[in-house]
A and B are shown apart, each in its own frame.
Chain A
Amino acid sequence: MIDVGELGEEGPAVIAEAAGFLRARGMQIIGVREGLETLVEAASEAGLPLLNVGNATPVRRQVEKSEEKPVGGSLVIKQPVRSGQQVYARGGDLIVLSSVSPGAEVLADGHVHIYGTLRGRALAGVRGDSQARIFCHDLQAELLSVAGNYQINEQFKNIGAGMPVQVFLDEDTLRIEPL
């Protein structure tokens, strides 16, 4: 865990460099928690997910796919979300009609609904909404996060595989329950 909260002016450059450095050495970067807006932005540009960003203003994330505008607060994705792609429903829910591949990442300020298999990462309530939930038809995720509270696959492993589940926050604990 590297604390970037104290980084000042040079923070953005440091984050980008650090991300590259760690990745080049095969380390998995889970995300960035806390930080000034500029830091958060830099982290986002370096492709790091945001966890627990608190009051920081949401930032545009780089997506490898141009998406339609959210309708009525939710973004509907009809295609599979592939490895290397990132989809963010800013200010609303995300609905994925197909599957989310390993190495893909789906994020929403609100809920995340996945009607296929979730094999990548899903982050709900990325701006801190602890009421946000993740729903999916088959849970084989690499990482789950609600409002910055995350678990990696090692922690939940086979729970939820092959059946519809929901993931939500109970106090500060992430819970996975069958639907």
Chain B
Amino acid sequence: MARIIVVTSGKGGVGKTTTSAAVATGLAMAGHKTAVIDFDVGLRNLDLIMGCERRVVYDFVNVISGEANLNQALIKDKRVDNLCILPASQTRDKDALTQEGVERVLEELSQDFEYIICDSPAGIERGAMLAAYFADEAIVVANPEVSSVRDSDRVLGILASKTRRAERGDEPVRERLLLARYSPQRVERGEMLSVEDVQEILAVELLGVIPESKAVLQASNAGVPVIMEDSTDAGQAYQDAVARFLGEERPHRFLVEKKGFLGRLFGS
């Protein structure tokens, strides 16, 4: 049985897709068979970030509606073994997703994969609810600002009450926070919430802090999940997060202001 992990946030544009791509790639690189599904029907972009947009033939909605089978729609990643992408449809709308359809696809994927990552759309409407409904674990992505934290709080409430686990009274969805686009300088200037502030409000385990980094945009323009860019701060922060996800203990880096050029040159 696969572990189903939803990457969700409430607020849009906080880094869910970036995180889904990084975590899925990281888990696959660690040797776990992983599938990542784009639930953002109508606005697909996971395939862009994963660099496989030219290889999309069938999508998630085609599989749900029976126009294609799963093997036809799954795209095998070219760089990393053990990794497959199930892209969203660009042309259909969110109503094309049904709970039964999603359940069927997840069940079928569960036979072959260890981890299934669900990249949720923003908001708390149908698409987001379906992405979260079957989850065993959640990675809640937030940016260090009040509105994003508020939305994450709302989403945590939904995970605790509107998921299959909650409805069945099973063990609750395991919730972890990923704080993305963190800028220590801006925290210092009081323009952003600090990690401590956010943790105080959300009271949830911290999976990682991803620094605000140019490397993210560069990587996504190149169609390479940023976790594969070993030399970048964001790449390393995602590597730490995946290691923690798999149970390793690692200290949080990137919480204090970046070192100058010399500092970086001489490492540490």
Contacts and interface: CB of A to CB of B under 8 A. Distances in A.
Given A103-B150, A103-B153, A103-B154, A80 B203 contact: yes
A28 interface: no
B160 A82 contact: yes
B161 interface: yes
Given A80-B203, A82-B156, A98-B203, A65 B150 contact: no
A102 to B, nearest CB: 6
A102 B146 CA distance: 11
A155 interface: no
A98 B160 CA distance: 15
B151 to A, nearest CB: 8
A64 B203 contact: no
A99 B203 contact: yes
- SS class, residues of chain B in contact with chain A: helix
A116 B154 CA distance: 18
B162 interface: yes
Contacts of A80: 156, 202-203
Interface residues of B, number: 16
Interface in A118-135: 119
A79 B161 CA distance: 12
A82 B157 CA distance: 5
A85 B150 contact: no
A66 B160 CA distance: 9
Contact of B160 (A65, A99, A119): A65
Nearest to B204: A80
Given A102-B150, A103-B150, A84 B158 contact: yes
B43 to A, nearest CB: 24
14 contacts: A64-B157, A64-B162, A66-B169, A80-B156, A81-B157, A82-B157, A83-B150, A84-B158, A85-B157, A99-B201, A101-B157, A101-B201, A102-B150, A102-B153
Task: List 8 A-B pairs, minimum CB-CB distance, nearest first.
Answer: A82-B157, A83-B154, A83-B153, A65-B161, A85-B157, A84-B154, A101-B153, A64-B161
Interface of A: 64-66, 79-85, 98-99, 101-104, 116-117, 119
Interface of B: 150-151, 153-154, 156-158, 160-162, 166, 169, 200-203
Given A80-B202, A99-B201, A101-B153, 8 more contacts: A64-B157, A80-B203, A83-B151, A85-B161, A98-B203, A103-B150, A103-B153, A103-B154
